A and B are shown apart, each in its own frame.
Chain A
Amino acid sequence: MRIGTREEWRAARVALLDREKELTRRADELARERQELPWVPVDKEYRFESDAGTKTLVDLFHGRSQLLVYHFMFGPEYTAGCPTCSAIAESFDGFLVHLNQHDVTMLCVSSAPLAKLQAYKQRMGWRFPWVSSQGSDFNLDFGVSFTEEQQRHGGEYNFRSFPTMEPLFEAETGPIAEQAVATGTDPAGYMRQAPGMSAFALSDGVAYHTYSTYARGLDVLMSFYQWRDRAPLGRNEGDPPQLWLRRHDEYEGDR
């Protein structure tokens, strides 16, 4: 930290404002470019288990013309949802109404059986729609689940191929080991799922895939990071970064 006068602060702040505005304009430009991506018709029939029975992808739009899917990491062998995905999903109930009123349906999809999703959702006190893709290729096709074969001998995540995940399973401490424990699995089991978000459009009864994003492409969904990026000490996670996120009912004490 460096202490300064109001005048020094103001001069530095105004210079930074110009760079912030430039970033906002670039973000707007990328949003425009996303809309120019070609729409790819989804030919495969996917089945989802929902609170209201079995649904197709077209059903999931729920009468609206756009669909956002958050690929929530909750594999069949997990005993609880991923803590980081839980921190993201924590915000959904607050704002989904505004998306719905803007012709966008948003929901979570995971490969765990519906009963597990429902039980966890009840524990966390959430209301947003959450469906199971168990038994379909949905998660594999949209790049958020991996087979054991892919984990051992290579696959692709975030549009980039990886030769093997195995070295990542060895660490006994660190974020992967911790999240594996938190989800009742081992590192390999935990990492058979990955986070992502996909967007779809519906036109004349045909569903189209328009966009998917992964990894730090999801940063904007983590609004607690966006707030921290504006706090005096920033993200402040240590080096190497420590995982400080917990499920909201697992924090100790009041801080």
Chain B
Amino acid sequence: MRTGTREEWLAARVELLEREKDLTRRSDELARQRGELPWVPIEKEYRFETDEGAKTLPELFERRTQLLVYHFMFGPTVEGWPEAGCPGCSFTADSLDGAVVHLAHHDVTFVAVSRAPLERLNAYKERMGWSFPWVSYGDSDFNLDFGAFTEEQRTTGKGFNFGTPKHAAEIDLRRDELHGLSSFAVEDGVVYHAYSTYDRGTDVLNLTWQLLDRTPKGRGDDPEGWPQRHDEYPA
């Protein structure tokens, strides 16, 4: 830390503001570019287990025209299986309920999707006190299809996050749950895949990270045992 006068702070702050504004403009520009990605029609039929019974992908839209899917890691290779979902996804999910209510009222349906059977999802959801919709894709190829985008990736299971190297060795797309976000649109009864992002592509959806970035000490070195599932912190 370095202490200063109000004048010194203000001069530094105003200079930083220019760079913050530039970042906001770049972020707007990337949102615009996302809107220019081609839409890929989905021909395959998927089945999801939901609280209202089995549903197809078009049915998950709930009559809205846009669908955001959060790929929540909850399957046999996840820490906590079979009782609990991934701690990191649970950390991000603690930012979800407050946003979901506002998405639904402006033509966007949100749903979390995992491999675990529906009753496991519901039990964990109740434990964590969440209310966002959460469905199971079971044994279908849904996660593989929205994580592996080439034949080679489908065959080898390698290539998470478009083949960026960071997790290349440890993630097998055929077997492992993945953490990410996919977006879909429906038009004239046809469902299109529009966008997917993984890894730090979901950083801005986790409000804890965003707020730590504005604290005096930042993300810093994580305290031991942080983050955890919100009901697992010592009292």
Using a CB–CB distance below 8 Å, which chain A residues touch chain B? Answer: 1-6, 8-10, 12-14, 16-17, 19-21, 23-24, 26-28, 30-41, 65-66, 68, 87, 89-95, 97-99, 101-104, 106, 158-159, 197, 199-201, 203, 208-213, 216-217, 219-221, 223-224, 226-236, 244-246, 248, 251, 254-255
Contact = CB atoms under 8 A, between A and B. Distances in A.
A9 B193 contact: yes
A121 B108 CA distance: 27
Contacts of B68: 227, 230-231
Contacts of A227: 68, 99, 103, 108, 110, 205
A228 B30 contact: no
Contact of B30 (A4, A23, A246, A248): A23
B162 A14 contact: yes
9 contacts: A2-B39, A16-B34, A34-B213, A37-B12, A39-B216, A199-B216, A232-B35, A232-B185, A255-B63
A3 B36 CA distance: 10
Nearest to B1: A39
Given A12-B36, A20-B30, 15 more contacts: A4-B38, A5-B38, A16-B33, A23-B23, A33-B16, A37-B16, A38-B4, A38-B9, A41-B3, A94-B94, A98-B94, A211-B214, A223-B95, A231-B194, A251-B101
B97 A230 contact: no
Given A19-B33, A90-B98, A232-B183, A9 B38 contact: yes
Contacts of A90: 97-99, 101-102
Interface of B: 1-6, 8-10, 12-14, 16-17, 19-21, 23-24, 26-27, 30-41, 63-66, 68, 91, 94-99, 101-108, 110, 149-150, 161-162, 164, 181, 183-185, 187, 192-197, 200-201, 203-208, 210-220, 222-223, 226-228, 230, 233
A228 B31 CA distance: 9
A219 B24 contact: yes
Nearest to B3: A39
Given A6-B149, A98-B230, A87 B102 contact: yes
B214 A9 contact: no
A201 B2 CA distance: 12
B99 A200 contact: no
A217 B208 contact: no
A9 B40 contact: yes
